Amino acid sequence: MKEATTNKALSLKTLSKSTVWDVQENDIFRMLDAADKDVELKDNLRRVADIIRSAFMIEEIKDDNKQLQEKYANQGYKIGTIKLGDDAKLTWAIKKRPITRVTDLTYENIRHISAAKLLEVIDRNFGGGWDSLSQSIQDVIESGFDISTTTLPKDRLHKKGGMYEKKVADGFEVLEVEKGTWVEAIFAKLKPETFKPRMKFDEPRLGGDGEEDEDDDLPVDDYNRPDEDDVELEEPNDDEINENNYRTTFAIDDDSDEDAESLSDFIADE
């Protein structure tokens, strides 16, 4: 499976607050065990623990307390021992953080749940529909899912050839929220992952002597070059001046307000 391959490729060095949602409790213990002799990781154990805690609940069990271990195991925790040195050991009880409320959704975990799971979480939000969610939560959801909604009377929602039928056929999951005699349909579909393209620069061209041909890269300066369609106008002869080629230029006095402040003065006043 793809997930299993991804988990094996991950290590504590490559683990992030996003990829940590890809792994399970046993994967965490496996990575911690593999990092036992890594001095660099031991020096950064606090940072690693913060990353793990973002997706897992961690309880430290001291003195090899079997009764406490059993208690956490009954609550769904996985129990494991972590080596901190030649003799030092630490027992952890860890459990993946559940995503049951809209406030559990984050930019790091939003792409690690299914559309069906997302709509299940939204449905638990007092049944208020999409508009009942805060803008910040909507932004988190829409960073990972395509979302669209429609509100129609019950008898029109499932109309043949309508939006509901088209969305379902396109792979969207749907949640119906009743609002009196009307129904709000919330459609959700996981967005495909996108990768930002990197800029690629052309290799410099070489001249006949094997060196870079600088002339090929210089733009031609044709700013002042007249267009082919331009026609050069001849200066009129004084004897040929008439009403068709005579022009008078007026000098217009500057009547601007001498007391007006400049933009810099305005900014300074601010």
pLDDT digits (tens, 9 = 90+) for 88-102: 778 889 999 999 999
CA dihedral 40, 46, 48, 49 (to 10 degrees): 150
Give residue 125's pLDDT band: very low, low, confident or very high (50, 70, 90): confident
Residue 193 has what pLDDT? 79
pLDDT tens digits for range 209-229: 544 454 445 445 454 555 554
pTM for this predicted structure:
0.64
34 — pLDDT class (breaks 50, 70, 90): confident
Instruction: Return d(Cα 110, Cα 114) in angstroms, integer.
Output: 9
